[in-house]
A = this chain, B = another copy of it.
Amino acid sequence: MIELENVSFSYGGAEILSDVSLSLRPGSFHFLTGPSGAGKTTLLKLCYAALTPTQGTVRAFEAETATMDRDTLALTRRRVGVVHQDCQFLDHLTLSDNINLPLTVAGLEGDYAQNLADLMNWVGLRDQADQFPPSLSGGERQRAALARAVIMSPDVVLADEPTGNVDWEMSQRLVKLLVELNKMGKAILVCTHDLNLIRAAKALAPTRVLRLKGGKLISAGADL
């Protein structure tokens, strides 16, 4: 559903990604690792068209992101759930309103009311539903970001370091959630430094682990 073909990218200086190809198909589950500053977030941004490649093409749902008009882009984003590394919320809305935001914006509120309750339960935020984002703990924000990313059951979920601030048990719950979605045919891509998390996921579903280093995308060894 999202395809990168020979993509290179630089922010103006050195090349961050060079000649990277990747295809996120329905039912695929990828992990992306690599040292800090390798370009993982950059790759994700290319996938959801927050950036366009300096070379090569990125296609989302058959359309090239570089030439998409802004309204199509907005509609495409509704089919891609993203957990950003710095979880950004609207500080003036309650947590449940924030998690509901993709539905509100798409005019679909109500259709997924049960989803919201289940989801909040699963990520352990039932008691925080009426809190405002600035009063959430770091881990609570990350869980909320994941909940917001999946509330509309998007075709693709891109998660950038979704467990950096949560404890090990919660990490496993979150991975389980992603695996469930994956089994429903969604394409999943998770950036993480947490090798334990990758191992736990591998035990639940077939995943591919990619490693980004020196601008190149390589498959990680069998040890993972």
- Within A125-159, the residues touching B (CB, 8 Å) are 128, 135, 137-141, 143
Q: A36-B138, A139-B193 are in contact. List 14 more A-B contacts (CB 8 A).
A: A35-B169, A35-B170, A36-B137, A36-B143, A36-B166, A37-B128, A37-B137, A40-B137, A85-B138, A85-B165, A138-B161, A161-B165, A165-B193, A167-B193
A164 interface residue (CB < 8 Å to B):
yes
* A75-123 interface (Cβ within 8 A of B): 85-86
The count of chain A contact residues (Cβ–Cβ below 8 Å) is 30
When distances are taken between beta carbons in the complex, the residues of chain B under 8 Å from A141 are: 86
Residue of chain B at shortest CB distance from A16: B137
| Contact, CB under 8 Å: A167 / B35 | yes
Identity of the chain B residue whose Cβ is nearest the Cβ of A193 in the assembled complex = B167
Chain A residues with a Cβ under 8 A of chain B? 11, 33-37, 40-41, 85-86, 124, 128, 135, 137-141, 143, 160-161, 164-170, 193, 195
Are A166 and B137 touching (Cβ within 8 A)?
Answer: no
Nearest B residue to A42, CB-CB: B137
Whether the pair B167, A164 counts as a contact (CB closer than 8 A) is no
10 contacts between A and B (CB under 8 A): A33-B167, A34-B167, A35-B170, A36-B137, A36-B166, A37-B128, A37-B140, A86-B86, A161-B164, A164-B165
A86 touching B170 in the complex, CB below 8 Å, given contacts A36-B165, A164-B161: no
Contacting pair B41 A137 (CB below 8 A): yes
A127-B124 Cα distance, complex, nearest whole Å: 40
